[in-house]
């Protein structure tokens, strides 16, 4: 079956599923609110923090091109946990309702099932990325004094990093759901995955410390570095590291392979 | 002859449990094949393998003489013991989804809903359906792709008497259209009423398979009783007898065909034995079934 047909099947499952709409709307509203409330935060800081230093927080150019792209994507990507929970719910529902079994019986191959869910993840990632671009352009154009075309698209690579970050994280959620099959436990493991990885890497001997950034969630989070310390005149990683891009792409392929292998070997 | 379904040495083990063992079976086009066996005999595992949801440990199977692939499953309609649908979708929307997967004509949805008498409830959510309605929707889903083969796994389990009657009428109706049907059941009379062929599974092994008519027609038993002590010896020497068993003081002589009773009567008379009771009976599938299990047990 061609990918378009598979995506149509998946979309048919989703568009009549109320939880899908509730979670996706929550995701976009929260993301939109948080990134557009940056000025409010700065105003609040201006009132709360003594200004002997003469710093006017509202003058900090967080919404200026090209800074905005890293700032915006860094904040937005925190909300990836919301669609990841949706991914887990849809996959584990297929197992708990046993509809995955019926899909296979009706003539889907296991590989087609995996692809149909991955296409859903891909579409969620693309739509979210378009949303972030939209927010970025609007805010940037409002706050940046006379932006040039060149300025607007400088550091646009962070938008690509946001896409990759989301895609990798959602594929990881897919893998967790495929292995655990139950939504509660899968969501718990998803939320604990980052602390678990940090505890694990903290205990790696110094001689091997060089591999730490290549652990899955380290690599994903290294795509977009913390940007705001630059306003305290500290040095930041103000680019998307290419080695991390490749590492994350490899992880996506690895997760996809593991998901396919697991389903291939499973009796339903 | 190439069967609709051919399995060779199909086996499945779960850990130490051998659920299905070296199963060789051919089911030909147009047969209504009843797969009999007690619960846990491997029927569902077997059907799971041939419908692609259970990976065989070893052996292989072919549908329509072609190597197994998911494309063939689009030509097969399967009704599981527990109907599976998306609970938040209506009956009709569930069928629309199946039509997309099976690449079936969506125009068939209304006719198949009508066929199973669900048209009036088609737009209600699946989770509001009774078990009988869920089962009928499963049949509608199976018929959607106009399949060559239909598979039923314990289709009447858990249904009320009315539901059972409806289900049997539906299955018989489908059988009359010439489609191949595979029906797994632990209910003998169900298989006897509907099927043309049957197979017996026990502990994962296929003990017997063949047409039901052969069992019912050409093999028979004659129940005999007499107070003459020479009866047993006389029966043993009867040339067309296959074997003898004793039940409540009466002898039961197994023979090849029902017509042997006249010959037996004549033979006993010649031996000077008067039989006070001589009843020819066709074997019921139940007796045959127990016999098959008995023989395998020895």
Mean pLDDT by 10 residues, chain B (298 residues): 82 92 93 89 93 94 89 92 94 96 94 93 94 92 93 89 88 89 87 86 89 60 84 84 78 77 86 84 70 70
Query: What is the rounded distance in angstroms from the CA atom of residue B247 to the CA atom of residue B89?
Result: 57
- Does A3 touch chain B if contact means CB atoms closer than 8 Å? no
The 10s digit of each residue's pLDDT in A114-151 is 999 999 999 999 999 999 999 999 988 888 888 888 88
Tokens of B234: 């006389």
Q: Which of B48, B52, B84 sits opposite A99 (nearest CB)?
A: B84
Partners of A98 on chain B (C-beta within 8 Å) are: 82, 84
Kindly report the nearest CA distance between residue A154 and chain B, in angstroms. Answer: 44
Residue A203 burial (10 A CB sphere; 0-12, 13-18, 19+): exposed
Low-confidence ranges of chain A (pLDDT < 70): 50-54
Helix H, strand E, coil C: the string for chain B is CCCCEEEEEEEEEECCEEEEEEEEEEECCCCEEEEECCCCCCHHHHHHHHCCCCCCCEEEEEECCEECCHHHHCCEEEECCCCCCCCCCEHHHHHHHHHHHHCCCHHHHHHHHHHCCCHHHCCCEHHHCCHHHHHHHHHHHHHCCCCCEEEEECCCCCCCHHHHHHHHHHHHHHHHCCCEEEEEECCHHHHHHHCCEEEEEECCEEEEEEEHHHHHHHCEEEEEECCCCCHHHHHHHCCCEEEEEEECCEEEEEECCCCHHHHHHHHHHHCCCCCCEEEEEECCHHHHHHHHHHHHHC
- Does B93 touch chain A if contact means CB atoms closer than 8 Å? yes
pTM across the whole model: 0.85
Residue A237's pLDDT is 87
- Does A265 touch chain B if contact means CB atoms closer than 8 Å? yes
Residue B216's pLDDT is 46
Q: Which of A17, A101, A109 sits opposite B70 (nearest CB)?
A: A109
- The complex's ipTM works out to 0.88
Kindly report the nearest CA distance between residue A83 and chain B, in angstroms. Answer: 20
Mutate which of B20, B52, B85 to disrupt the A interface (most A C-beta within 10 Å)?
Answer: B52
Partners of B145 on chain A (C-beta within 8 Å) are: 107
Kindly report the nearest CA distance between residue A264 and chain B, in angstroms. Answer: 8
Query: What is the rounded distance in angstroms from the CA atom of residue B51 to the CA atom of residue B211?
Result: 23
Query: What is the rounded distance in angstroms from the CA atom of residue B135 to the CA atom of residue B78?
Result: 11
**A-B interface: how many C-beta pairs under 8 angstroms?**
73
- Does A2 touch chain B if contact means CB atoms closer than 8 Å? no
**Nearest alpha carbon to residue B215 among B237, B202, B200:** B200
Partners of B97 on chain A (C-beta within 8 Å) are: 9, 12-13
- Does B269 touch chain A if contact means CB atoms closer than 8 Å? no
Kindly report the nearest CA distance between residue A102 and chain B, in angstroms. Answer: 6
CB atoms B54 and A267 under 8 Å: yes
């Amino acid at each position: 079956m061609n990918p378009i047909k598979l995506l149509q099947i998946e979309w048919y499952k989703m568009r009549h599923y109320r939880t899908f709409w509730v979670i996706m709307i929550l995701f976009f509203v929260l993301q939109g609110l948080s990134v557009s409330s940056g000025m409010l935060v700065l105003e609040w800081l201006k009132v709360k923090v003594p200004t002997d230093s003469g710093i006017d927080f509202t003058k900090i150019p967080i919404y200026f091109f090209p800074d905005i792209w890293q700032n915006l994507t860094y904040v937005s990507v925190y909300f990836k946990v919301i669609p990841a929970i949706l991914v887990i719910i849809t996959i584990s529902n297929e197992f708990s309702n046993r509809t995955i079994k019926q899909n296979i019986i009706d003539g889907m191959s296991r590989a087609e099932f995996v692809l149909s869910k991955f296409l859903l993840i891909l579409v969620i990632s693309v739509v979210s990325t378009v949303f972030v671009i939209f927010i970025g352009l609007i805010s940037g154009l409002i706050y940046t004094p006379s932006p040039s075309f060149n300025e607007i698209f400088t550091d646009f690579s962070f938008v690509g990093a946001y896409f990759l970050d989301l895609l990798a994280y959602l594929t990881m959620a897919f893998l967790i759901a495929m292995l655990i099959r139950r939504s509660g436990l899968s969501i718990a493991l998803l939320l604990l995955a980052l602390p678990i990885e940090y505890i694990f890497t903290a205990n790696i001997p110094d001689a091997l410390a060089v591999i730490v950034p290549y652990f899955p969630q380290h690599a994903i989070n290294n795509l977009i570095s913390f940007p705001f310390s630059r306003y305290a005149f500290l040095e930041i990683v103000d680019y998307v590291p290419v080695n991390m891009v490749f590492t994350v792409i490899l992880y996506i392929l690895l997760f996809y392979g593991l998901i396919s292998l697991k389903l291939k070997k499973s009796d339903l | 002859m190439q069967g609709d379904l051919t399995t060779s040495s199909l086996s499945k083990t779960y850990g130490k449990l051998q659920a299905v063992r070296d199963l060789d079976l051919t089911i030909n086009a147009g047969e209504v094949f009843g797969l009999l066996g007690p619960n846990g005999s491997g029927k569902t595992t077997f059907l799971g393998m041939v419908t692609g949801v259970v990976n065989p440990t070893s052996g292989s199977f072919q549908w329509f003489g072609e190597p197994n692939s998911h494309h063939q499953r689009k030509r097969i309609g399967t009704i599981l013991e527990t109907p599976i649908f998306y609970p938040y979708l209506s009956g009709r929307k569930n069928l629309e989804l199946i039509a997309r997967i099976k690449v079936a004509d969506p125009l068939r949805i209304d006719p198949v809903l009508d066929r199973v008498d669900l048209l009036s409830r088609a737009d209600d959510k699946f989770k509001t359906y009774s078990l009988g309605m869920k089962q009928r929707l499963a049949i509608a889903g199976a018929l959607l792709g106009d399949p060559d083969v239909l598979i039923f796994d314990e289709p009447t389990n858990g249904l009320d008497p009315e539901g059972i009657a409806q289900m049997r009428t539906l299955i018989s109706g489908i059988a009359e259209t010439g489609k191949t049907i595979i029906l797994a059941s632990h209910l003998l009379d169900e298989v006897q009423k509907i099927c043309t062929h049957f197979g017996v599974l026990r502990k994962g092994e296929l003990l017997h398979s063949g047409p039901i008519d052969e069992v019912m027609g050409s093999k028979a038993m004659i129940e005999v009783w007499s107070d003459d002590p020479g009866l047993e010896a006389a029966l043993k020497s009867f040339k067309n007898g296959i074997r003898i068993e004793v039940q409540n003081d009466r002898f039961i002589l197994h023979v090849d065909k029902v017509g042997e009773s006249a010959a037996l009567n004549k033979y006993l008379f010649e031996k000077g034995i008067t039989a006070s009771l001589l009843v020819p009976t066709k074997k019921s599938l139940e007796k045959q079934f127990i016999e098959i299990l008995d023989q395998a047990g020895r």
